[in-house]
Amino acid sequence: MAQEIRRGGHVFDVHEGLAAPFMFDNVSTDVIAPALTNLTEGLDAPRGGLGSNRGATAFANIRYRADGSPRQDFVFNQEAYRTASIMVVGKNYATGSSRVTGVTRPLAAWGVRVYIGESFGPIFLTNAVQYGVLTVELPRETLNEIVEWVESHHGVRMRVDLERQRIETPGRDPIAFETDPRVRNKLLNGLHDLEEIEPHLPAARAMRARDVEERPWIYRPGDDRR
């Protein structure tokens, strides 16, 4: 199902696609979007997946040898995974810097819509929600089973259903997962942050007005050194 990538307010209900295994721990955003090859693809980047030319610079430092030739042991250089839209990852995936313009946005624009992993870098978690990208946390044993399925079912699409909170891998029982209720509601309804905040603006304004009275020094930095 094609998902339009806009700035905020993305809908995610169900995604079907090919999965790629990338079971490493503590993969830093420095590794995903290396500084000297900063990915600056715009929101309208055409589809093609990480194996396409447009995805060529992702993971550059571990994807290519020093002479620029692609390493065949790197998952997105392999034919079976070039158009993967689901990544199965390890612990603390995408840890470190935010790199939203280098990591989340372009990878979402190229087609990665779901990350299934043991845990995620805290800043990546927030960024992913902004771009309608779903992160699912599952225990290591379950991830290993999913990877085993992926590797023995090349070309077979996985179905990730946020509404029912389950992953369907044809030939096996569905795998249940949990999502944060607010994130689930936001993605299913395509709520922009501002739509979530708006009902509470009067309360926010009232709190601010009270705070200006009670902690004036915060709002008058450098003030009254007259």
Partner 1 sequence: MNRRDFITTSVGAGLLVAASSRSLFAQFRSAGRGGTMFDKIWDAHVVANLGGETDLLQVDRCIGGSPTQVLRLVREGVELRNPEIFYNVPDHTVSTSPERYADPSLGWGWQPYEELADEMRELGFTKAFGQSDPRFGIMHVVGPETGLSQPGMVLCAGDSHTCTHGAMGLISWGGENSDNILRTGTVIRRRPRTMRVNIVGALGPGVRAKDVILRTIAQLGTDSGTGFAVEYAGPVVRALSQEARFSICNLAVEMASPTGMVSPDDTTYEYLSGREFAPSARYWDQALAFWRTLPTDDDALFDREETIDMTGVEPQVTWGINPEHAIGIGERIPDPDRAPAGKRATYRQAIEYSRLTPGEPILGTPIDEAFIGSCVESRISDLRAAAAILEGRRVASTVHSAWVVPGSNAVKAQAEAEGLDRIFKDAGFEWRESGCSKCYGSNGDYVEPGHRCISNSNRNYIGRQGRETNTLLASTTTVAASAIAGSVADVRALL
Contact pick of 14, 62, 156, 176 for partner 1 (by CB under 8 A)? 62
With binding defined as CB under 8 A, does residue 203 bind partner 1?
yes
Least CB distance to partner 1 at residue 171 (A)? 28
Closer to partner 1 by Cβ: residue 173 or 224: 224
With binding defined as CB under 8 A, does residue 24 bind partner 1?
yes
Within 150-189, which residues bind partner 1 (CB under 8 A)? Answer: 180-182, 185
Contact pick of 57, 85, 130, 135 for partner 1 (by CB under 8 A)? 130
Q: Which residues contact 189 (CB under 8 A, 6 or more apart)?
A: 11
Given strand 175-176, what is the order of strands in its sheet?
14-17, 158-161, 166-168, 175-176
Least CB distance to partner 1 at residue 58 (A)? 13
Contact pick of 17, 49, 96, 106 for partner 1 (by CB under 8 A)? 96
Total residues at interface with partner 1 (CB under 8 A): 58
With binding defined as CB under 8 A, does residue 107 bind partner 1?
no
With binding defined as CB under 8 A, does residue 21 bind partner 1?
no
Contact 97, 118 (CB under 8 A): no
Closer to partner 1 by Cβ: residue 105 or 169: 105
With binding defined as CB under 8 A, does residue 210 bind partner 1?
yes
Structure tokens at 12: 């995610």
With binding defined as CB under 8 A, does residue 144 bind partner 1?
no
Contact 116, 136 (CB under 8 A): yes
- Which residues are near partner 1 by CB under 8 A? 24-26, 28, 30-31, 34-38, 60-62, 66, 91-92, 95-98, 100, 119, 121-123, 126-127, 130, 180-182, 185, 193-194, 196-197, 199-201, 203-204, 207-208, 210-211, 214-225
